Amino acid sequence: MEHAADGILLVDKGSGETSHGVVKKVRSVFRRGKGVKVGHAGTLDPFATGLLIILLGQGTKLSRFIMSGEKVYLATVELGVETDTFDPTGKVVRSSDVPDLSTEYIREKANRFVGKIHQVPPIYSAVRYKGERAYKLARRGQRVDLKTREVTVYALRILTVDLPLITMRVRCSSGTYIRSLAADLGRDLGPGGHLRSLRRLKSGPFEVEDALPSAEIAREAREQSLSRRVIPIREAIPDIGEIVVQADLAEKVRNGYQPTWEDLISGSERKICINEDFHEGWIKLANDGKLVAIMKVEMADASDHGKVKKVNIERVFSV
């Protein structure tokens, strides 16, 4: 049943906290709401700060949709010191002198990382390797050979250079490891380096300026007070197009019915623009102001003039 704790909560995670620790603090506030699930969309390492999206109740069903959004980070790279984790928590594996690099030279090297790039995730990461988390194997001293993956860096802007420190703003796709980016940039520049600090400024359409500092969660200790900050599940994925369906179809979908595209557009109260709203992607179904389901739309080939070929219900939400 949908209640005030169904949705997402924007939290500004502090340094030294784990993402799971923030989840536990939020869960303790909602413990009186029996059965309320709490999770998060996108881990931040303990040394990192910034936007952490907490998922509440039926909001936990939104994880894959929220995590797929692009991210914006503020990152500081320290040249001359390489660590085994690519961040300040790791063991130093190499140190070297930092030459007098010009800002223009650094920007030229950094620009080479803009676009589709291939990077290897840090071995101290949550990526699964042979059925187990890579960081667990690495901590046991076992060899971990992670495969390269393609990610996209939409923009990388060098903000300040105060050697050995370089601060940059990065806008990137989901799955991009800023630690790997920092280490790769350090190697390209010559002396090597690691990610000294990281702050997530944005995830999808949400910004850290609108988040509740994690240190203040305890002050919002009453469930009613914290609930006022919860973004309802329908509003938690604003970038996904929407069809408002009639009540009878909404009830059928909630009971397991798989609608056709014709069902949706013939009985909808408001039609959508196919080309602008989903591009063969996700569509929300809503009724009476509430989210009913999320479906995946598959388009036919060009010869069918953009007609919808197939729709599949991926997630259903109760009322």
Q: How far is CA 284 from CA 46, 201, 217, 244, 311, in A?
A: 34, 26, 31, 8, 12
Instruction: Please name each of the domains of the chain with its CATH number.
Output: 7-68+206-232 (3.30.2350.10), 71-202 (3.30.2350.10), 241-316 (2.30.130.10)
45 catalytic? Reply is: yes
Q: How many CB atoms lie within 10 A of CB 70?
A: 16
308 and 297 Cβ atoms separated by less than 8 Å: yes
- Structure confidence at residue 1 (pLDDT): 39
Contacts of residue 47, Cβ cutoff 8 Å, sequence gap at least 6:
15, 16, 87, 88, 89, 197, 198
194 and 186 Cβ atoms separated by less than 8 Å: yes
Which candidate, 65, 64, 71, places its Cα nearest to that of 50?
A: 71
Q: How far is CA 268 from CA 47, 77, 238, 240, 315, in A?
A: 48, 51, 19, 17, 19
Per residue in 125-181, pLDDT (tens digit) is: 667 766 677 767 667 777 777 788 899 999 999 999 999 999 999 999 998 999 999
- Structure confidence at residue 279 (pLDDT): 46
Indicate which residue of 12, 45, 184, 277 is catalytic. 45
Which candidate, 161, 121, 113, places its Cα nearest to that of 138?
A: 121
Tell me the C-alpha distance between 6 and 9, whole Å: 10
pLDDT lower than 70: segments of the chain? 1-4, 32-35, 124-126, 129-131, 135, 137-138, 219-224, 267-280, 299-309
Tell me the C-alpha distance between 233 and 2, whole Å: 10
CB burial class (10 A; 0-12, 13-18, 19+) of residue 293?
Answer: buried
Tell me the C-alpha distance between 292 and 245, whole Å: 9
pTM of the model: 0.88
Give the number of C-alpha atoms closer than 13 A to the C-alpha of residue 207, restricted to the C-beta side.
2
- Structure confidence at residue 30 (pLDDT): 80
Per residue in 232-268, pLDDT (tens digit) is: 999 999 888 888 888 999 999 999 999 888 888 775 5
Pick left, alpha or beta for residue 69 (phi over 0 → left; psi -120 to 50 → alpha; otherwise beta).
beta
- Structure confidence at residue 313 (pLDDT): 92
- Structure confidence at residue 130 (pLDDT): 67
DSSP state of 174: T
- Looking up tokens 């709401």 gives 33
- Structure confidence at residue 34 (pLDDT): 59
Tell me the C-alpha distance between 185 and 199, whole Å: 18
